[in-house]
Amino acid sequence: MKDQHLVTIEVNGREHELLLDARRTLADTLREDLGLTGTHLGCEHGICGACTVLLDDQPVRSCLVFGVQADGHQVRTVESLADGDQLSDLQQAFSDHHGLQCGFCTPGFLMLAEAYLETEPEGGPQEVREVLSANLCRCTGYQGIVEAVTVVAADRREKAAVTQRAGDA
């Protein structure tokens, strides 16, 4: 039995038409059909978060979504964060705060944090830790990751406030 579907998925702003087996996970679709291997697989049962991507701006485990389900939807992966050579503020903060060692968990953490930061959160260290508990890292002890996200939350709030003031003026 081979159940295949022709789907259209917008990934990182580009539309792709793909013929997918029904059972192919979104993670494998991204990694193997689209060559976007930044999305990693660390457990394939929803716990580790290495496969986290944004589906219509919401963070999801791409190991628990089938590729066919993304038909007609938008997906963002770690490959979308940098602007050419320019790292995003979040990526830069991970680098500055030593938020990675082996780097295997990093794409998942970046996408989780990006989703969280886009909700314009308060971003206190406690809340940040709670949110980041969704993903696992075996190398860093988390401190650098927590610091990076906390700092970016504060920076973005600051920037938003400045823009707001500028707008008000």
Partner 1 sequence: MKPAPFEYYRAYAPAEVVELLTGLGDEAKVLAGGQSLVPMMNFRLAHPAALVDINAIAELDYVRREGDSLRIGALTRHRTLELSRAPEVQDGFSLLPRAARWIGHYPIRSRGTVGGSIAHADPAAEWCLLARLYDADVVVLGGQGTRVVPSADWFTGFLSTVAATNDVVTEVRFNRPRAFGALTEYARRRGDFAIAAAAVAFDVVDGRCRDVSIVLGAVAGEPLRVTEAEALVEGAEPAAPTWAAAARIAAAAIRPNADTYGGERYRRHLVDTLIQRAFAEAFASDASVSAASGIR
Partner 2 sequence: MLRGAGRFVGDIAHPRAYYVAFVRSPVAYGRITAIDTTRARVLPGVVAVLTSADLQDPELVAVLERPNEEFVRTAMPMLAHDRVRYAGEPIAAVVAESRYVAEDAAEQVWCDIEEFAAIMSLDELGSSAAPIHPEAPDGVLVDLTMFEDEHIAETFAAASLVLEETFRSARVSASPLEARACLAEWRARDEQLVLHASTQIPHQMRTGVAQALDLAERQVRVIAPDVGGGFGLKCVVGREEVVVAAIALRLRHAARWCEDRRENLTASFHGHEQEYRVRAAFDDDGLILSLDADIRCDIGAYSVYPFSCGVEPLMAASELPGIYKVGRYAARARGFATNKPPSAPYRGVSRPQIVLVMERLMDKAARRLGIDRIEIRRRNTIQPHEFPYTGSNGITYEPGSYVEALDLCADALKKAGWWDRRECTDGRLRGIGIINFSERTAYGTSTLSMRKMPMTPGFDVSYVCMDPTGDVVVTTGTCSQGQGHETTFAQLVADRLGIRPERVKLRQGDTNLVSFGWGTWGSRSLVIGGGAATVAARRLADQIKSVAGELLEANASDIDLVDGNAQVRGVSGSQISIDEIAATVHFRSHTLKNSGEHLLEARGMADPSGMFSNASHAALVEVDPGTGDVRVVDYIVVEDCGVVVNPTIVEGQVRGGVAQGIAAALYEELAFSPDGQPLSGTFMDYLLPTASEVPSITIHHLETPCDQTETGSKGMGEGGLIGAPAAVVAAVNDALRGYGADIDCIPIHPADVLAVLQGTSAAQGSRLQETS
Ligand X SMILES: Cc1cc2nc3c(=O)[nH]c(=O)nc-3n(C[C@H](O)[C@H](O)[C@H](O)COP(=O)(O)OP(=O)(O)OC[C@H]3O[C@@H](n4cnc5c(N)ncnc54)[C@H](O)[C@@H]3O)c2cc1C
Q: Does 45 bind partner 1 (CB under 8 A)?
A: yes
Neighbours of 69 (CB within 10 A): 18
Q: How far apart are CA 6 and CA 90, in angstroms?
A: 35
Judged by CB, which is closer to partner 2: 19, or 168?
19
Residue choice 37, 46, 141, 143 for contact with ligand X (CB under 6 A): 46
| Burial of 79 from C-beta contacts in 10 A (0-12 / 13-18 / 19+) | middle
Judged by CB, which is closer to ligand FES: 99, or 163?
99
Q: Compute the least distance from the CB of residue 119 to partner 2, in Å.
A: 18
Applying the rule CB under 6 A, the residues between 104 and 133 that interact with ligand X are none
Q: How far apart are CA 165 and CA 156, in angstroms?
A: 14
Q: Compute the least distance from the CB of residue 165 to ligand X, in Å.
A: 41
51 binds, among ligand FES, ligand X, partner 2, none (CB under 5 to 8 A by kind): ligand FES
CA 5 to chain centre: 26
Q: Can you give the C-alpha Rg of the chain in angstroms? A: 17
| Tally: H helices and E strands in the chain | 5, 5
- Enumerate binding residues for partner 2 (CB under 8 A): 21, 23-24, 31, 35-45, 47-48, 50, 77-79, 81-82, 87, 91, 94-95, 98, 100-107, 110, 129-130, 132-146
- Enumerate binding residues for ligand X (CB under 6 A): 46-47
